[in-house]
Structure formats: structure tokens, C-alpha cells
Amino acid sequence: MIVLLDIVTTAAILFVVASGLLAIFGVLKIINFAHGAWLTLGGYCAVVTTALGLNPWTALPLAFVAGALLGAITEMVIVRPLYRRPLDAILATWGLGIVIGQLITLWFGRDVQFTPNLLSGTVDLFGASYSIYRLFTIAAALIIGCAFAFLLEGTRLGLSTRAVIMNETLARALGIDVARVRLITFMIGTGLTGLAGVLLTPLTSVDPNMGVGWLIGAFMLVMVAGSSFAALAFACLIFGGAQVMVSTFVSPILGGITVAVLCALVLRVSPKGFSRG
Amino acid sequence: MAERRPSSFNFRALILAGLAVLALLLVLFGPMFLDRFTLNVLTRSMIYAMLAITVDLLWGFTGVLTFGQAAFFGIGAYAAAMILTHMGASPGLIALAFALAIIVPMLVGLVVGWLSFSYKATPLYATVISLVLPIVTTQVVFSGGQWTGSSSGLVGYGTLPFGLVGFFRLAGVCLLVLTVAAWFFVRSDAGKLLVAIRDNEVRCAYLGLNPQRLKIALTTVLAGVAGLAGFLFANSSGVVAPEITGFVFGTELVIWTALGGRGTIIGPVMGTIGIDYLSANLSGELPFLWNLVIGTLFVAMIILLPNGLAALVAKFLPARRGAGAMRLTNLAAAGAQVTAPEEAALLSVKDLGKTYGSLKVLEGLDFDIRPGELVSLVGPNGAGKTSLMRCLSDGTEISSGVVRVAGQEINGRTPNEIVALGVGRKFQVASVFESLAVADCLRLALAARHRPSPVTRESDLALPTAALDILRLTGLDHMLERPVADLSHGLKQSLELAMVVALEPRLILLDEPTAGLTKTERTTIGGILQKLTRELGIAAIVVEHDLDFVRTISSRVVVLHQGRLVLDGTVDAVANSELVKTIYSGGAHG
């Protein structure tokens, strides 16, 4: 039973971490390899709010705003010249990740920082105690998923975005401001990643390299999911589940590479991953 | 610009030869005036530079962005260190360690290559695999217990008895040999294949080459080179740690290559040695600032100067082209002249269908084509003409029915296999290799049958008569050393046609060969086509909108409409048909 809960919460955490990357890849067809740096940025937003003595929850909006602002600058300066060179965009954003990581190190030092838990304690479920915070991540994943569904299906921006995803040339011809859609998408994606960074703080330690470990897993999941949030949720459940099973029953070290290896194999068999059935 | 300037070439070659001698002297006499720290650092930097060359051959030349070379390096280093730690360091065992350090990475490279490069796999997928490989390797090292030393690595094993100075010279000589070998290779005819794959992989396949197999071979060989570098590293440093197998080290290799200049050989070598040496000296004093500077430079370089520092330097060197005169000669007619019996169908299409999901693009097509026929394929936009051409040249596109070329079923076969059966395809938009010279493009057309030299660039270019005719008619024979990117639209079309004809095909597929050409160019192409079919017995299928052109050249016309074959007959029968006038009113002005 605990394993089942572990699977669902692991999938929820993976979904939270990968959704910002997916939003950007789905619309811009660009892989933001500085994704890990935004997670770190979010983590340090939690550190800053703690240092200022604010309620730990205020880190969430702070991280979203900081992530989105930095994302806006990044899109305009670094990503915009590279839309036609997607492999170079991977490299340039990786370089940006190094820069952000070093700036954080210069400012805060390279030591591990501690942040107060957003929700502490455990709850008794099925005869065993389980961390309340891990359960909360399920809610967080659902909220993010629903928010995206609403943004895409229920707003004018979402309509333009879907048009850009389907046929960018036609969207441009119809007078949709593609550059604006890209900028806003990038800001939402990076803002969300900053938010995910805050949500990670109770689960991992905060240090200048905290994001890098999550990058590959998120990247692989997004490759499999294509541009669909439903596919991402599905991929998180399947591969997150496999990860928990391997970690629990085989070896935690092998568990760490389960997601990457399985995603690579899925992509070998079906290059489009889960995005088409 | 296409003027041949042997003197400038000699000057450039002289500079590089001078550099090589200087490097050799530095390597041999450097230990006399360099201190221990510098020797240590430079030994490591030179080993890393060998890796940068492998990254550059894959990424800079072939266009495959890889983070995986670190893993091959790590596997080689660990293979050597594990033999030396657990079995001992007798001369025989050192030889074994040496062999395994190369063989094991090559085997892994073979598997990785097979995984990364399948027909229709995206370029991003190879990058994805190259990310997974170092991560898996690192985890395997971590979980190896005492075999791999887990997180603390292996240390204190016996090594080659060379000492600091000996290893410095060994690494230097290895790097120099690799640099010179790579330098000659990328300038050789075989080396042009790498750039051809980067420029236009589809065209490579349609020249009968197998780009997937070439990339797998390249990955395997370069994994072996990385393993050799790993062997040197394990011996000279006396320690192996999990970091050297990892993804982060893999990205560092890419950064050094990018800063030095991808697509050159000297650039990444200089970049790696320079940055690694400076890192070792500066990172002690300003560790974070140094990485910050490198990161910032890297981002700026990727955006503003994608070809790195070497591109800046190259601007001040004389132009590279003009390596002696290229001579055209006549290729002795090969097997292609053996034509099938006249009455046998060269191409036979039975009940061919093509669907995209629920959309039927082609349905129930039946026709035969015999040697020497010049068949025009006409029909309004969306009739399925290009889809038909695709099905005839790429068997994986066929949804239903059977297509046979010279009696052999092509269903499920990839383009390069179909080219081997004698089918050449010319695309609608000229599909050539933009960064190569005209002569190199033509030689690549021969590469599937005449193995190109991996060491030199031959000065004789032997082409079939028909291809020579095209070159002479269009004046391309005087532009052999000109970069393809500088050619006009019409000349690119002619070059592609010459490349396809150089394949000595029995059936040639042409998708709108005259689109966007001038009247004169059109007449030239029409004359060439007629000569090919009537005199050489080649069969041709031409997709064409210009009915006047169709009328002059064709021996037969096939009309497609909404994915079905509606008419198949002589030029006059089709041109006078009421049916054609109604469905094809836009083009029927005769």
C-alpha cells in the first residue's frame, strides 16, 4: 500500500518538476537545458523568504515571479536567436544554467541551505504513517495540471497557443503574434519551474546544484510526452512507478536511472513517444 | 573566388606543417623547462584534447550533438584500471588492459550507435541517448562495489613505468598523431561523407549510401579512440573516479569544442588545452568566477559565433580552396550498361496505395515501365504525384500493394537499398550538399560503389559519360572547386541531376526538374533527358506541370487525379483527351 502511495506521489513530483519544461518544449520546440537552474532558483527563493522571516508559503509566488522575469530576459536574449538551431539552443541554455549556478554560488556560497518544511508531520493511512507533504504534492500536481488545461482550453491566450503548436506559419498568417505567445509561454514555463523548485525544498537539500539531478529525468519525460500534458501525466505515472518499484525491490541506485533508460527505449521503439496513442 | 591558387594552399599547408613541428618540439623538449605542476596539467589537457577531437568529428563535422564521449572515455579508463587493480600490472596484463580499454568502449559504442541511429530517428534522439549513456555508466560505477571502487574510485594500481615526463611525451605524441590523422581524414574524400551527412542526410541515402551505418561505424571507432584516451588517463593520473564517466564532463567536452571552433580540428585541440590549463591555474584563486566567465563566453559564442574562435582565426588565413586542379575523366562503363531484355518491365506497380491515417493519397495504382521510356506524370496539385515518387524510391512509404524494380520487390526497403537496385531520384527542390565543392558532391555520388580514400582527396574525378555531358552543357565542368552554396538555383538543379545520373541508374525519378528554370535551362534539361532515355535505355518518370515540355520530351503520359490513375497513353492521346482538359484545366492551354 505504501508502495502505491510512493508511486503516486513520485509521479506527482515528477509531473510538477517536468511541467515547466514541457510547456516550453510543447510550444517553442526548444529544450530549456537551464531547467535545473530554475529549480535551484526556486529553492533559493525559499531560502530568501526564510532569511527575511516571511511565511514559507510566500516563497511560492516569489519564485514564480522571479522565474518568469528571468525567463523573459532569457527568451529575448538567448532563445530568440536560436529558434532555427534547436541543438544550439540546448547548449546555450546549458551554458546559462552554468552561469546561474555560479551566480547563486557567488551570492550564497556552495553550502547546503536549510528551509523550514511547508507542511510537516505524518498522517495515518492504511495502518501506516505517511508524510503529509508527499500527499500534498499530489494536490499540487493536480492544481498545475488543471491550471494548464484551463489556460489552454479556456482562454484566448490558450487558443493562440494551440494554434502556434499546430501550425506556426498559419498562426502567423492569421495575425497571431507568435513572438508574444512564445515569450509568455517561456515565462509561464520558467515561472512554473521556479515554483516547482520551492515545492522540492522539503524533499531535497538546497544547494547550487540541486536542479541538475532533476534535469535529465524531466528532459526524458518531456521527450516521451511530446507536447501533451495528459501524456506527461501518463508518462510520470508509468516511469515514476517503475522507478519506485526498482528502487524498492532491486536497488536504489538502479532506480535512479530507471526513468532515463525506459524513456530512451520507448523512444527507440516509437519516436513520437506517448503523444500519439 | 573559384580561381585556383596553388600558392595560397601551400602557404596554408606550410603554416600547419610548421605548427605540427613546433608542437612536436614542445612535446619533446617541454619537460626541460616546464615545472611539475604544468607538466601534470598539460598531460591531462592533451588527453582531454583527444576527446575533444572525437566530439568535434561527431558534432562539428557530422552534426550529431553528443555528450556521450565522456562515458566511452570513462569505460576505457575503468577497464584499464580494473585490470591493473584486480589482476596486476605485469607487461602481459598491461597489454590486456590496453586492448580492453579500446575494445570494451567500441562494443558499447556499437550498441549505442545501433540504438541512436535508426531510419527515421530524429537527430535529437541521438543526443538523448548520448545523455543517458554517461548517466547509466556513472550509476554502474557507483553500484560496482569494490570492483569499481564505487564513489571513491580506484587508486594505487600499477601503471606503465613512464613517470611524469614520459607520460607528458606519450600524451603529446598521441595527441599529435590523432590531430594529424583527423586533419587528413576530414580533408579526404571519405571525410567529406561526414559533412555530407550533416548537410543533407536524405541526399546521402538517395545516393545509395547508408548514413545510419556510417554514423554507427563512426560512433564505434570514436568510442575506441575515447577508450584509448581513457587508458592513457588511467595510467598517467594513477586514479579513476566516477566523475570522468559522467554527463557533466561530457558537457564540458562540448563546451571546449564549441569555444575552440567546431568543424575544425585545430580549434577544439587549442580550445581544450587552453581552457583546461587556464582552469587549473585560475580556479584555485577564483573558482566560481572562472566558471562564470567560461559559461558566459560559451553562451555568447553559441549565439554570436557558432563556429568558435577558429572561425575568427580562419578569416585571417588565405582561402582554403584551390587544392590543385581537379581533372574530369571518363568512367569506364560499369555494370549499369547491362540492360534488361527490352520487353521486361523495369518497374512494375501493382495495386499501390498510400494512406496518412484515414486519408487516402494513392489508391489502386497499376502500371509498368520499360527501359527507354520517358513517362511524364501529370495531374493537378494534390493528385498524389509526389507521394507516388516517394513510394517508388522509399519502400517504407508504401501502405499497400506491391512495387517491383527489375523483378525485386521494394516494399519496406530504405532508399539506399532501392538506389542499389538502380533507381535514382531528383527532388523538386535541389537536394545537394551546400557546404561542399561541386567536385565533392559528384564524387559522393560514386561513393557507394567506389570506396572513397580516407587519406587523400583524389585529383581525378571519373564520371560516366552522361554525367560529364550534363556538366559540359551547363558549364559546371569549369566550376568544380566552387562551393555549392555559391551556385545559382538552375546550376544546383543541374548539379543534382548530374549526381543522380552519375549513379548510373536504370530508372530515374524527377520531381519537377524544370520548376523555376529559364527557357534555355529547360531546353537543356529536356535534351539531356531525351538522350538518357533514347540512347542509354534508361527509363525516366518526370513529374511535370508544363504541358508543352511534357509534349516535347515524353514517350508516354500518365495522369493522376485524386490519388487514382485516370489515363495512361501516348502524348497525343492524353493531350487531346476531354477528361484531362476538365480535371487539369489550369495547365491545359494547348
> For chain A, what are the domain ranges?
2-209
Q: Look at B63-77, B113-127, B138-152, B301-315 and tell me which has the smallest mean pLDDT.
A: B301-315
Give the pLDDT mean for A101-123.
82
Rounded CA-CA distance A10/A15 in Å is 8
Q: Which residue of B has its CA nearest to A215?
A: B131
Task: Show residues of chain B in contact with A264, CB under 8 Å.
Answer: 115, 128-129, 132
Alpha-carbon gap, residue B211 to A269, rounded angstroms: 19
Domains defined along chain B, listed by start:
14-247 (no CATH), 368-399+409-583 (3.40.50.300)
Is A254 in contact with B143 (Cβ distance < 8 A)?
yes
Nearest Cα to Cα of residue A229 among A175, A131, A173, A162: A162
Half-sphere exposure of residue B96, counting CA atoms within 13 Å on the CB side?
13
A125 touching B, CB under 8 A? no
CB pair distance less than 8 Å for A251 and B135: no
Q: Is the pLDDT of residue A151 over 60?
A: yes
Comparing CB atoms, the residue among B129, B136, B251 nearest residue A94 is B251
Residues 6+ positions from B62 with CB-CB distance below 8 Å: B194, B195, B197, B198, B215, B218
pLDDT digits (tens, 9 = 90+) for B466-504: 899 889 888 888 888 889 999 988 889 889 999 999 999
Does the CB of B282 have a partner CB in chain A at under 8 Å? no
How sure is the predictor about B286, in pLDDT bands with cuts at 50, 70 and 90?
confident
Report yes or no: A105 at the B interface, CB cutoff 8 Å.
yes
pLDDT of residue B7: 47
Among A85, A105, A260, whose Cβ lies nearest the Cβ of B132? A260
Instruction: Kindly report, residue by residue over B153-206, the tens digit of the pLDDT.
Output: 899 898 888 889 999 999 999 999 999 999 999 999 999 999 999 999 999 999
pLDDT higher for B575 or B250?
B250
Mean pLDDT of A89-117: 88
A102 lies within 8 A of chain B by CB:
yes
- The radius of gyration computed from the CA coordinates of chain B, to the nearest angstrom, equals 28
The dihedral sign for the CA sequence B532, B534, B538, B544: positive
Which chain B residues have a beta carbon less than 8 Å from that of A70? none
pLDDT of residue B587: 46
Q: Do B295 and A102 touch (CB under 8 A)?
A: yes
**Which residues of chain A have a CB within 8 Å of the CB of B121?**
268, 271
- Does position B337 have pLDDT exceeding 50, yes or no? no
φ, ψ at B543 (rounded to 5°): -85, 130
Distance CA B212, CA B199 (A): 14
Residues of B in contact with A268 (CB under 8 A): 115, 118, 121, 125
User: What is the complex's ipTM, to 2 decimals?
Assistant: 0.88
Q: Residue range A229-237: average pLDDT?
A: 89
Residues 84-123 (B) with a CB less than 8 A from some CB of A: 115, 118, 120-123
What residue of A is the nearest CA neighbor of B291? A102
| C-alpha cell of residue A170 | 498559419
Q: Do A95 and B131 touch (CB under 8 A)?
A: no
Residue A219: list chain B partners with CB under 8 A: 128, 131
- List of chain B residues whose C-beta atoms are within 8 Å of the C-beta of residue A271: 120-122, 125
Sort out which chain A residues have CB atoms less than 8 A from B132's CB and list them: 216, 220, 257, 260-261, 264
Predicted local distance difference test score (pLDDT) of residue B507: 93
Round the average pLDDT of chain A to a whole number and report it.
87
Tell me which residues of chain B, numbers 302 to 331, contact chain A at a CB-CB cutoff of 8 Å: 302-303, 306
Instruction: Please give the pLDDT value at position A276.
Output: 54
Mean pLDDT calculated for residue range A72-94: 92
Note whether B294 contacts A92, CB cutoff 8 Å: no
Q: What is the mean pLDDT of chain B?
A: 87
pLDDT of residue A187: 95
Q: What is the pLDDT of residue B83?
A: 94
Q: How far is B251 from chain A (nearest CA, A)?
A: 9
d(CA B423, CA B540): 10
Q: Does B589 touch chain A (CB under 8 A)?
A: no
Contacts with A225 from chain B: Cβ below 8 Å: none
The tens digit of pLDDT for each residue in A51-69 reads 888 888 889 999 999 999 9
pLDDT (mean) for B437-450: 90
Q: Nearest residue of A to residue B135 by CA position? A: A257
Name the strand (E) or helix (H) holding B404: strand B400-405
Query: Which amino acid belongs to residue B14?
Result: L
Binned at pLDDT 50, 70 and 90, residue B6 comes out as very low
**Quick one: A4 exposed, middle or buried, by C-beta within 10 A (0-12, 13-18, 19+)?**
exposed
| DSSP string covering B442-501 | HHHHHTTTSPPPSS---SEEEE-HHHHHHHHHHTGGG-TTSBGGGS-HHHHHHHHHHHHH
d(C-alpha B186, C-alpha B194), whole Å:
8
B157 in contact with chain A, both atoms CB, cutoff 8 A: no
Mean pLDDT of B108-129: 89
User: B226-254 pLDDT, tens per residue?
Assistant: 999 999 999 999 999 999 998 899 999 99
- The alpha carbon of residue B64 is apart from the nearest alpha carbon of chain A, in Å, by 9
**Average pLDDT over every residue of A121-126:** 74
Instruction: For residue B379, give the 3-state DSSP assignment.
Output: coil
For residue A170, the distance in angstroms to the closest alpha carbon of chain B comes to 19
Q: Do A78 and B303 touch (CB under 8 A)?
A: yes
Q: Is any Cβ of chain A less than 8 angstroms from the Cβ of B133?
A: no
**Nearest one of A186, A271, A273 to A234, comparing CA atoms:** A273
Q: What is the nearest CA distance from A91 to chain B, expressed in angstroms?
A: 7
* pLDDT for the residue numbered B225: 97
B283 pLDDT more than 80:
no
B135 vs A91, A257, A268: nearest CB: A257
**Alpha carbon distance B539, B344 (integer Å):** 12
Which chain A residues touch B295 with a CB distance below 8 Å? 95-99, 102
Strand partners, B177: none
pLDDT of residue B430: 87
| Sequence-ordered alpha helix ranges (H) in B305-431 | 308-314, 385-393, 415-420
Of A102, A256, A264, the CB nearest to B128: A264
Query: Does the pLDDT at position B326 exceed 80?
Result: no
How many contacts (CB atoms, under 8 Å) link A and B? Answer: 100
Cell of B19: 605548427
Residue of B nearest to A83 (CA): B303
Q: Residue B423, SS3?
A: strand
Chain B window 37-76: which residues touch A at a Cβ cutoff of 8 Å?
65
Average pLDDT over every residue of B4-16: 63
SS3 A105: helix
The residue among A210, A214, A217 whose CA lies nearest residue A261 is A217
Cell numbers for B572: 497525343
CA contacts within 13 A on the Cβ side of B320: 10
pLDDT at B2 over 50: no
* Mean pLDDT, residues B262-284: 89
Q: Does B258 touch chain A (CB under 8 A)?
A: yes
The residues that bridge with B80 in the sheet, in sequence order, are: none
